[in-house]
A and B are shown apart, each in its own frame.
Chain A
Amino acid sequence: MKYLCLVYSNEQLLHDSPQSPEDAECHAYAEQVAQSGRMLAAEALQGVATATTVRLRAGQVLISDGPFAETKEQLAGFYLIEARDLNEALQLAAGIPAARVGCVEVRPVRQLAV
Chain B
Amino acid sequence: MPLLQPVADFSKQLELLYQQHSRQVLATLIRLLGDFDRAEDALQEAFSVALAQWPQSGTPESPVAWLISTGRFKAIDKMRRQRRFVADGDAMLAQFVDEQAEGFEMQQDSQLWSDDYLRLVFTCCHPALSIEAQLALTLREVCGLTTEQIARAFLQSTSTIAQRIVRAKQKIKAATIPYQVPASDQLAPRLQAVHKVIYLLFNEGYSADLIQPSADEALPKIDLAQQAIDMAKQLLALQFDTESCGLLALLLLQHARQAARFTTAGQLILLPEQDRSRWDQALIAEGVSKVETALSSGRIGPYSLQAAIAAIHNESPDSASTDWPQIHALYQLLYRVEPTPVVALNQLVAMSMCEGPAAALLQLPPLLQDATLAQYHLLYAVAADFHRQLGHHDEAIDFYRQALKLATSSADQQFLQQRLCALSEVKNAEHNAL
Residues of A that sit less than 8 Å from B by CB: 46-47, 49-52, 60-61, 63-66, 84-87, 90-91, 106-108
Contacts and interface: CB of A to CB of B under 8 A. Distances in A.
Interface residues of B, dominant DSSP? loop
B114 interface: no
A61 B128 contact: no
B128 A90 contact: yes
Interface of B: 127-130, 133, 167, 170-171, 174-178, 180, 182, 186, 189
8 contacts: A50-B170, A52-B175, A63-B127, A64-B128, A86-B176, A87-B180, A87-B186, A106-B175
A50 B178 contact: no
A90 B171 CA distance: 15
A85 B133 contact: no
A64 B127 contact: yes
A60 B192 CA distance: 12
A47 B170 CA distance: 11
Contacts, number: 50
A51 B130 CA distance: 11
Contact of B177 (A60, A85, A107): A85
Contacts of A63: 127-128
B151 to A, nearest CB: 21
A87 B182 contact: yes
Tell me which of A61, A84, A87 has the highest count of chain B C-beta atoms within 10 A of its own C-beta.
Answer: A87
B339 to A, nearest CB: 11
Contact of A50 (B130, B171, B180, B189): B171
A66 B131 CA distance: 11
Given A49-B167, A90-B128, A85 B186 contact: no
Contact of B174 (A61, A64, A87, A108): A108
B164 to A, nearest CB: 11
A61 B167 contact: no
Contact of A65 (B128, B174, B176): B128
Contacts of A106: 175
A85 B183 CA distance: 13
A66 B167 CA distance: 12
B174 A50 contact: yes
| Top-6 shortest CB links A-B | A63-B127, A85-B178, A52-B128, A65-B130, A50-B174, A50-B175
A64 B171 CA distance: 13
Given A49-B170, A50-B171, A108-B176, A65 B186 contact: no
Contacts of B129: 65
Nearest to B180: A87
Contact of B175 (A84, A91, A108): A108
A46 B175 contact: yes
Among A47, A61, A85, chain B packs the most CB atoms within 10 A around the CB of: A85
Contact of B189 (A46, A61, A66): A61
Nearest to A64: B127
Nearest to A54: B128
A65 B174 CA distance: 13
Contacts of A61: 189
Contacts of B167: 49
Contacts of A107: 175
B186 A91 contact: yes
A86 B175 contact: yes
A42 B127 CA distance: 29
A85 B174 contact: no
A65 B125 CA distance: 12
Contacts of A65: 127-130, 133, 171
A64 B133 CA distance: 12
Contacts of B127: 63-65
